[in-house]
A and B are shown apart, each in its own frame.
Chain A
Amino acid sequence: MRAADPVELAPGEELDPLLSDDVVLRADHVSVVYDGDNPTRAVRDVTLELRRGEVLGIAGESGCGKSTLAYALMRMLRPPARLTGGRIIFSDHVGGTPVDVMALEAEELRHFRWRKLSMVFQSAMNALNPVTSLRKQFSDIFETHAPEMRRDDREQRSRELLEMVGIDPSRIASFPHELSGGMRQRVVIAMALALQPDVVIMDEPTTALDVVVQREILDEIERLREELGFSIVFITHDLSLLLEISDRLAVMYGGEIVEFAPSAQVARAPAHPYTLGLLESFPDMRGARRQLHGIPGSPPSLAEEVAGCAFAPRCDYAFAPCASVKPRLGERSFLAGHGAAIDVQGQRASRTWSVACHLHDPDLCPAGPPQELTGGDRAGDAETSTEEPGGVPDAICGEEE
């Protein structure tokens, strides 16, 4: 059975971020290095676009550069981390003047942060100051980033924010240790939304919480987004979660984006073997019982340079060129149905699907990718999912192993 038509996704919605060309935040060829005796290239030439009203997911294992990228977007890198290339462009509103985030001076930057772009940090448990009350911590935000606000207004707004995330406003006098984990996470989200930013970057906001609380927080985020209309960059290692909540998805590996595609279609079939591996790392709760396996091995050291594809040593589909030729993130469209990958010149960029894998390069792999990596539309979903997945094929692109 096919779900909604991949192109005309959710036709009833007012705003379809997939079809919007309105970019609110753009990272242009961003690279970040951690300096040291053995410099670590944590983010390597990453280009991303966040559209207005969109949830953009960033997935990948630990140590793939996800959080470093988020810090770069917020311009929060601290030595030894250093932005070595690229630009971060923020556009306030439709047709507004783009702002080069890297060029902002002290006072401008303070004005920009939290009002335009805010962040929910990993482990909210530790993001709150244990020795001051919530009142003081909310107040700090306003004093720093909205100094024009009066004391009464600050108090008023803080209470509203708590109410908004479902916490009794009387808890404003509480200290963080008096709140449960889920409540602390809500407080951190309320703080990120304090000045109604255009973009909120969420770095693993639910990872430390259990399933029921995680679900409550996600519902809360989705409800607030509907009400307030901000855009989200949502970072997590939990790909199954991202497929559900995000509009588009960037999969990072070894500091690079290896696949960038509409989530609804990745859910049906990814195009990169790494994405497939991540997907198969999560057993389907209701699916058929079958032998499951994750991705053997571990991510590459970001301090080293790899000649070919960084994923090749762990990849079941690796063939000759993978060891020597570096795959580049190229645009493909799978919307014409599974099978041949078609270049998308002339199509709207927002419908494209980018993947960095030689299997999708017609010159290197004329036979095309195997069926489970065709991307987009996998014919007969039910049948394919019961097959033994990810088994090593006998021949890849006509080459015997």
Chain B
Amino acid sequence: MRSDAALEVRHLTVDFLQRSGPKLRAVDDVSLTLRVGATLALVGESGSGKSTVVRALGRLLKPSGGEVLLGDRPSTMRRSDVREYRRHVQLVFQDPFASLNPAHTVAHHLARPLLLHQQASRRDVEGRVEALLRSVNLVPPREIARKYPHELSGGQRQRVAIARALAPSPEVLLADEPVSMLDVSIRLEILNLLDELKSERDLAMLYVTHDLATARHFSSEIMVMYRGEIVERGPSDEVILSPSHPYTQLLASAAPMPGATRAALAAARRVREGTRAAREAERREATVETGCKFRRRCPHAMPQCTSRPPEVETAPGHTTRCWLYDQSER
């Protein structure tokens, strides 16, 4: 284990029981390391298992397999362990309208974790609440502390949620789509705030998002998830600017092209429609259990895709789980 690792996840697997049929494997053998003062982005479409990873790492659900190491200590799901674990690992959720209790003031939301995790005593808690509010640029803090969530805008609420996550002075912050419910104009402010806090406090951050552009701008490393598996990982610029896995390429090509000309757009659309027509029919087939899970949608699908693809290093630190890059047998 490298010394700068704050949280290390090895072979994390999460299965969900279904009413009928086999278990649903939402997270399949995912390993990752969150480093001090660095942001790792986890991207993928809805249903790819991103949030399940966060919930497992936040100890909100019990993984079916694998281990989570905080510092050097493996963590268990025992109640006392979980409380201690959450002192170090905190979460910011997607929806600040749902994650704050409408019946409590901002002060209450922040004082509770401070007291619970012995970060403040009854006597100095007020000052600590104000300091927290100031650290997320909610001013004047005394006034904000008295307010209820409904009196705040979406951006202000998300700042409160961030302040609450910071209350126990964690080393690790898990941010699950922290800006996707916010208005466009304030998204960057919140992301910039998280970025500043990460640097100031040496936080190890996991940024979960479906937005490739902010993933690239706010993280040093990106992991791409598809149906529970990490299909590509590497330095942010490399993964976004020269994606190697066909799924990452699909994600990148789906992003808006605001500067493009009409002709270029129409051409790109024709190409997409061509590949889509081919897979539309296949999609109705049963879901894939073995092999590459992307192969039904993949324009490069080959016979060997029915067995599980190997993880191949395409450049230093940049790996892809795809047969296209396999050198061993061809």
Contacts and interface: CB of A to CB of B under 8 A. Distances in A.
Interface of A: 3-4, 9-10, 12-13, 61-62, 166, 168, 181, 209-216, 219, 222-223, 237-241, 243-244, 264, 267-268, 277-278, 280-286, 289, 291-296, 298
A13 B266 CA distance: 11
B185 interface: yes
A181 B46 CA distance: 10
A337 B259 CA distance: 18
Contacts of B259: 3, 243, 267-268
Contacts of B192: 291-293
23 contacts: A10-B262, A61-B183, A210-B210, A212-B254, A213-B45, A216-B276, A237-B183, A237-B184, A240-B258, A243-B256, A244-B256, A264-B262, A267-B259, A268-B259, A281-B185, A282-B184, A282-B213, A286-B240, A289-B237, A291-B192, A292-B188, A294-B188, A295-B186
Contact of A278 (B185, B213, B280): B185
B46 to A, nearest CB: 5
B263 to A, nearest CB: 7
Given A210-B46, A223-B269, A243-B256, 16 more contacts: A211-B255, A213-B46, A239-B184, A239-B258, A243-B259, A244-B256, A244-B260, A280-B188, A284-B213, A285-B212, A285-B213, A285-B216, A289-B237, A292-B188, A294-B186, A296-B189
Nearest to B252: A285
B297 to A, nearest CB: 9
Contacts of B185: 61, 277-278, 281, 294-295
Contacts of A286: 240-241
A240 B260 CA distance: 11
A293 to B, nearest CB: 5
A241 B260 CA distance: 11
B64 interface: no
B189 A293 contact: yes
A219 B187 contact: no
B155 interface: yes
Interface string B272-302: 1100100010001000000000000000000
A4 B261 contact: yes
Nearest to B264: A3
Given A264-B261, A294-B185, A214 B252 contact: no
Query: How many B residues touch the partner, as a band?
Result: 35 or more
B93 to A, nearest CB: 17
A283 B46 contact: no
B265 interface: yes
A12 B255 CA distance: 26
B251 interface: yes
Interface of B: 45-46, 153, 155, 183-189, 192, 210-214, 216-217, 237, 240-241, 250-263, 265, 269, 272-273, 276, 280, 284
A83 B210 CA distance: 39
Nearest to A291: B192
Contacts of A214: 254
A181 B210 CA distance: 16
B302 to A, nearest CB: 22
Contacts of B273: 219, 223
Contacts of B45: 210-213
Contact of A10 (B46, B186, B254, B263): B263
Given A212-B45, A283-B213, A286-B240, A298 B155 contact: yes
Given A211-B254, A212-B251, A238-B256, A13 B184 contact: no
Nearest to A166: B280
9 closest A-B pairs (Cβ-Cβ)? Answer: A243-B258, A215-B254, A285-B213, A295-B185, A294-B188, A210-B45, A240-B258, A211-B254, A294-B185
A289 B215 CA distance: 12
Contacts of B237: 289
Contact of A12 (B187, B241, B263): B263
Contacts of A264: 261-262
A227 to B, nearest CB: 13
Nearest to A213: B45
Contacts of B241: 286
A126 B153 CA distance: 24
B255 A285 contact: yes
A258 to B, nearest CB: 14
Contact of B184 (A222, A268, A281, A284): A281
B4 to A, nearest CB: 22
Contacts of B253: 215
The residue among A181, A239, A244, A277 with the most chain B CB atoms within 10 A of its own CB is A244
Contacts of A277: 185
A285 B189 contact: no
Contact of B183 (A62, A240, A280, A296): A62
B18 to A, nearest CB: 16
A292 B188 CA distance: 7
Given A10-B263, A244-B256, A244-B265, A294 B184 contact: yes
B74 to A, nearest CB: 34
Contacts of B184: 61, 237-239, 278, 281-282, 294
A13 B272 CA distance: 21
B73 to A, nearest CB: 36
B261 A3 contact: yes
Contacts of B188: 280-281, 283, 292-294
Nearest to B46: A210
Contacts of A211: 45, 210-212, 251, 254-255
A110 B213 CA distance: 44
Contacts of A293: 188-189, 192
A93 to B, nearest CB: 25
B328 to A, nearest CB: 31
